[in-house]
Structure 1
Amino acid sequence: MGTTESMTFSIGEVANAVGMSVHALRFYEREGLLVGPIKRTAGGRRRYAQVDIAWLQICTKLRESGMPVAELQRFAALVRHGPGNEPERLALLDAQRDRVNQQIHALEQARNVIERKTDIYRQHIRDGNAVGLWDPTSKTGLD
């Protein structure tokens, strides 16, 4: 097969390696989210390089973190353009990190509410007072 750099992979192999469907992988290509052109066999089948897999792994994590497709397109375009635009790339990643930190904070607050409520329910169950945990006639109605 040759060295890792010269190995190529089918669309199915790449989809499996990055945890996405073949359909999603084609969408990424159509939307300009890849950083290099995808080579094709004489029969027109896509052949991806290891660098494509590495880039797609970054893309999938950015999408999982909620980065909008438009920003991911911009990031990919900057990478395709080559060196010299690192401050713009950094600004995109900084903004996404800030959004992720906000999401983490919101999830931590939600987890705190859930933990508080589960503690109340556990205590009621331990004490044998599980009847009427949600009582609209109580002072708070939020037991």
Structure 2
Amino acid sequence: MTTTPAAMSISDVAELTGLSTHTLRYYEREGLMLTPVDRSSSTHRRYTEADLNWVTFLTKLRLTAMPIARMRDYVELARRGDDTTAERLELLLIHRMNVVKQLDEMKKSLAAIDYKISLYKEKVNA
């Protein structure tokens, strides 16, 4: 892989983030990149370290089930600058509450699965 801090190809970023090139293009089409991705003279995308960090953050938001529309809201606020810090904080705090609720639900579901597994193990070992 050939990368420089100043310019990475879409395949480089895909490899570094674990995302597909299709997903990276989708994020760009959906307006989720903080700034437009630079293009080389041959029109190939050239990602910066800042782009890579942003995509990594977007990935964390998606892994916590943040909807694309809410991500877009966040991006639009971020683009507007420091005047939107309080709004971004509120958006992330609300999302965090939703993630905590999901985690609690997952823990309860995992406990139910573990209980069933223990019952089956008792039957198998009996």
Please, what TM-score do these two structures have when normalized by structure 2? 0.91
d(CA) in 2 for partners of 1:122 and 1:29? 49
Structure 1 gap ranges (5+):
129-143
d(CA) in 1 for partners of 2:124 and 2:39? 64
Find the structure with the greater CA-based Rg.
1
Amino acid at match of 1:54: N
d(CA) in 1 for partners of 2:43 and 2:123? 66
d(CA) in 1 for partners of 2:101 and 2:43? 44
Q: Please state how far the C-alpha of 1:91 moved relative to its aligned partner.
A: 1.2
d(CA) in 2 for partners of 1:113 and 1:77? 41
Q: Please state how far the C-alpha of 1:16 moved relative to its aligned partner.
A: 1.3
Q: Please state how far the C-alpha of 1:69 moved relative to its aligned partner.
A: 0.3
Amino acid at match of 2:25: R
Q: Please state how far the C-alpha of 1:122 moved relative to its aligned partner.
A: 2.4
**Runs of 4+ that moved beyond 4 A:** none
d(CA) in 2 for partners of 1:64 and 1:37? 23
Q: What secondary structure does 2:47 align onto? A: strand
Q: Please state how far the C-alpha of 1:70 moved relative to its aligned partner.
A: 0.5
Deviations 1:28-71 (A, max 9, x none): 00111000111111111111100000000000110111000001
CA RMSD across the alignment: 1.6
Larger helix fraction of residues? 2
Equivalences, count: 124
d(CA) in 1 for partners of 2:118 and 2:43? 60
